[in-house]
Amino acid sequence: MNQFNMQNSKNEYNNFIMDEIIVNKEASHETGEYNEIQIVNGLIATVEEKSSSSKDSTSKAMTISSSIGMVVGMVGIVIGTIVSISTSLNFLNTESIIGISQAKCFFELSNMNYDEVYIQLEDGSGQVIQLANLFPTDLDNQYVATFYDLSPHSTYYLQGLNDEGEEVSLGKNNFFTTLDIPHYDITIDTSAYDKSNEQYDLTFSIDNPNKYHIEALLICENDETLNQHLLAIDGIYSFTLPNILSSYRLELYQEDFLVGQTTFSDYMGIEIIDETIEIGISSIYMGLSPGEIYTDAISVSIVTNNNLSEVAGVEFALDGYELFVTCYELEANTDYILKISDIARPSFTYFSYHFKTIPIPQYEITIDDSNFDIVNNVYNLTFNIHNPHNYLIDAHLNCLNDETLNDSFLIIGNTLNITLPTLYSEYRLDLTQEEYDVGSITFSYYTPMRVLSDTLLIESTTFNTEVDLGSVPIENISAFIRPRDGMGDELEVEIAPIENTSRISLRMEGLINNTSYFLEIRDNSRATLVYLNYAFETLA
């Protein structure tokens, strides 16, 4: 008892004061009209007394007085209920709305301010994902916390916290699982659609028994400015097509996830004619079938794929029921878009074709000389390249000793057969594709002439040297010296054979000092065929 007296020196317990209760009782009730206080197993109970018998009243009053007096004497405090105010926070699982990546969780909260409670979201490993505030709803004692950016088909756990970070129990039912990403089958109702009467009404339907909020996006493939969208929970979406000369795609989104799609088209659009498209280094050629599109109301353009700048030089022409598009002013190895649009509505594109010009190739050239026969004067060669796409390649044969013998050919496949016009020349075969250099090879099948430098003697007015003829017959040649600037006469040089060799000796006198000349040895019968051209300068 001393312990209770020390802790309750003012006769207080559970915020009740004994003296006040007794005073209030005596002051607020007349005789026979008050609520009896009974001590039952340590609890205070009240029973309404009726003034039916003075004896009973006296007996009960004595009992109450003696009981209270005894307790006051022993403990010195009021006898009453030990009152404790308990808080509760319950997760309302069935009322909560759980989506694919979002969750709106409802809670029931008692005896605590909602703004002093927070809901912590954890994943299966116990890692804290988010912390959310509670917000009131239209229902008493019911509050909501919302979570975003969750993973589909994942289980999360909820934990209540107060302002001091202490746990507020939610019990065992404290988790939820997000939905899988669904896929909806879409049906199209065309009962209100009549193309002949220009009635383009369509209804798209899905089965959505849970009434999820699902957005339908109707995409006009030819003009995105004509796109439409609807939000519904009944799974029914009705649209009127803005233009029949386009394909359409319906996409369904639930919480930004694509959950279904279908297409609709009821027109013949522009199509590429098989085997008519050719894309080169700087060019494109394409044949098209216009379908139901009126070709007198179209514009054709090519734009770059990166900055959409328009390319010049695009041409198109109609040949019967076929449309042909050409352009030869493109850049190599570049992405482009060929667009055919409505003249009156440029944003409406009937046809769009992405393509990339090819890089500038380099072909390795090999020579097959199995049919080359010097003895029988058969100078046939076969040149081979690797051209798997059969690009058109221009081949230029350059006779380096006589440019009048140059020739050009066209390679369509991988081989080129050429007969050399003369044996006694060096040659270079150059390949070009759309005017780009794509390969070259230099070759010869004879030994060329050369000036023997150790025999060369040049003075102010004379020139002396020996020349090795190589494989050129001496009877085919003539030698001349002419001024390099073209001013003055050409002088023929006497050729002196050197016995038992393929050499000749050349000597010329009467030259002008300090002057530039050419020594030229050429074919007797063909003056343009030059075997040797040697530049020198006389001394001062």
For the record, the structure tokens of 280 come out as: 């080169």
Q: Measured between alpha carbons, how far is 485 from 144 in angstroms, rounded to an integer?
A: 100
For the record, the structure tokens of 1 come out as: 């008892």
- Are residues 400 and 322 both part of a single domain? no
Query: Where a domain ends, among 117, 147, 177?
Result: 177
Query: Where a domain ends, among 422, 444, 466?
Result: 444
- Are residues 211 and 227 both part of a single domain? yes
* Of 340, 335, 308, 342, nearest in space to 324 by CA: 340
Residue 375 located in a structural domain:
yes
Residue 82 located in a structural domain:
no
Q: How far is CA 477 from CA 210, 469, 495, 532, in A?
A: 102, 10, 9, 10
Residue 165 located in a structural domain:
yes
Q: Measured between alpha carbons, how far is 493 from 421 in angstroms, rounded to an integer?
A: 27
Residues pairing with 520 in the sheet:
480, 533
- Are residues 526 and 508 both part of a single domain? yes
CB 113 within 8 A of CB 44: no
Residue 257 located in a structural domain:
yes
Given the DSSP bridges, would you call strands 199-205 and 117-122 parallel, antiparallel or unpaired? unpaired
- Are residues 23 and 58 both part of a single domain? yes
- Are residues 279 and 258 both part of a single domain? no
Residue 218 located in a structural domain:
yes
Residue 81 located in a structural domain:
no
- Are residues 482 and 506 both part of a single domain? yes
- Are residues 241 and 297 both part of a single domain? no
**Residue 306: exposure state from Cβ atoms within 10 A (0-12, 13-18, ≥19):** exposed
Residue 360 located in a structural domain:
no
Residue 80 located in a structural domain:
no
Q: Which residues, in sequence order, are CB contacts of 339 under 8 Å at separation 6+?
A: 300, 301, 302, 303, 349, 351, 352, 353
Q: Which domain holds residue 53?
A: 2-74
Q: End-to-end distance of the chain based on CA atoms, in angstroms?
A: 144
* Of 97, 90, 214, nearest in space to 147 by CA: 97
Q: How far is CA 311 from CA 165, 286, 305, in A?
A: 66, 16, 11
- Are residues 395 and 346 both part of a single domain? no
* Of 479, 483, 490, 485, nearest in space to 517 by CA: 483
- Are residues 437 and 454 both part of a single domain? no
- Are residues 247 and 328 both part of a single domain? no
* Of 155, 202, 203, 149, nearest in space to 177 by CA: 155
Greatest CA span in the chain, whole angstroms?
175
* Of 49, 99, 54, 330, nearest in space to 210 by CA: 99
Q: Measured between alpha carbons, how far is 410 from 391 in angstroms, rounded to an integer?
A: 10
CB 249 within 8 A of CB 228: no
Helix boundaries (H) for 8-150: 18-28, 54-74
What's the pLDDT at 186?
Answer: 98
- Are residues 260 and 275 both part of a single domain? no
pTM of the model: 0.65
pLDDT profile of the chain (540 residues), mean per 10? 37 36 38 39 37 40 38 41 66 95 96 94 94 96 97 96 90 92 98 97 97 97 97 98 97 98 97 93 97 93 88 92 95 96 95 96 98 96 96 98 98 97 98 98 97 97 97 96 90 96 96 96 96 96
Buried-state track 210-241, b at ≥16 Cβ within 10 A, e below 16: eebebbbbbbbbbbeebebeeebeebebebeb
Go through the chain and tell me how many residues it has: 540
Q: Measured between alpha carbons, how far is 341 from 344 in angstroms, rounded to an integer?
A: 9
Residues pairing with 120 in the sheet:
131, 159
For the record, the structure tokens of 494 come out as: 């006497």
Quote the number of domains for the chain: 6
Rounded to 5°, the CA angle 344-345-346 comes to: 110
Q: Measured between alpha carbons, how far is 304 from 307 in angstroms, rounded to an integer?
A: 6
Q: Measured between alpha carbons, how far is 385 from 415 in angstroms, rounded to an integer?
A: 6
CATH number assigned to the domain comprising residue 128: 2.60.40.10
- Are residues 287 and 304 both part of a single domain? yes
Query: Where a domain ends, among 121, 154, 177?
Result: 177
Amino acid at 287: G
Q: Measured between alpha carbons, how far is 253 from 219 in angstroms, rounded to an integer?
A: 13
Q: Measured between alpha carbons, how far is 277 from 272 in angstroms, rounded to an integer?
A: 8
